[in-house]
Amino acid sequence: MPHPTIESDRQQTLRTQAESRLTGHSAPTGRQATASAALGVLHQLASSPATAADALALLHELQVHQVEVELQNEELHRNRTELEADLLRLTQCHDHAPVGCFTIDRGLVLCEVNRTGARLLGVEREALPGHSLEAFLAPQGAETLRALLAQVDAGQGVDARAASPLELVARDGQRHRVEASAAADPAGGRYLLALSSSRDHSLRTTP
């Protein structure tokens, strides 16, 4: 019976030779060429009685590796599907939240807005990024909002929050009394702003 160490060395030598032939095979390219070359190496090994058993062992190892790769691909596909579903759900929750959700910078410029926020301002959502929220605030509203953001800056990290009443003026002149809540954007450099309607949330003004 062959010594285990000798058999192990022999198996490693055969594996090295097989890998060398595969990597040095330059005629065809791609997955089919690699598979064809691998089958050719295994056929040569299996054709010799001295290496037939080693060829079977190598074939089994390759089959196991192939199954492992297939299982990993299936798991990656499942994870991707789950992540896409989670992202879609979070996007839906953000877009249809019962409060206006905004991302603004230090200059009160709108960076992101959900559907509810766009309805509060009376403007199409796609047209809002890049515009100043100050244009939709009643007099003194910008100062109130900047003071609110200053409270957030004075807090501790991304968990700092502050709230204050505000009055919005929509594009059509409709005024909305809202409760503004602000927090630091975890991504840094911006603020998360939520505007929820007060009980006496709206009133019509005469032009």
**Topology, domain 96-203:** Beta-Lactamase (3.30.450)
Domain boundaries, the chain: 4-92, 96-203
Predicted TM-score (pTM) of the model is: 0.62
Give pLDDT, residue 35. 61
pLDDT of res. 44: 73
Along the 207 residues of the chain, how does pLDDT read in single tens digits? 555 565 567 666 665 655 555 555 444 445 545 566 666 677 777 777 777 777 777 777 777 788 888 888 999 999 999 999 999 999 999 999 999 999 999 999 999 999 999 999 999 999 999 999 999 999 889 999 999 999 999 885 556 677 889 999 999 999 989 999 999 999 888 999 999 987 554 444 433
> How remote is the C-alpha of 172 from its chain's centroid?
37
pLDDT at 33: 53
d(CA 12, CA 163): 69
- pLDDT at residue 69, rounded to an integer: 85
Per the CB < 8 A criterion, the answer to whether 133 and 149 are in contact is no
Rounded Cα distance, 105 and 132, in Å: 9
Taking Cα atoms as reference points, which of 25, 18, 63 lies closest to residue 42?
18
pLDDT digits (tens, 9 = 90+) for 85-143: 999 999 999 999 999 999 999 999 999 999 999 999 999 999 999 999 999 999 889 99
The phi and psi torsions of 153 (rounded to 5 degrees) equal: -60, -30
Residue 104 CA to residue 116 CA, distance in Å, equals 16
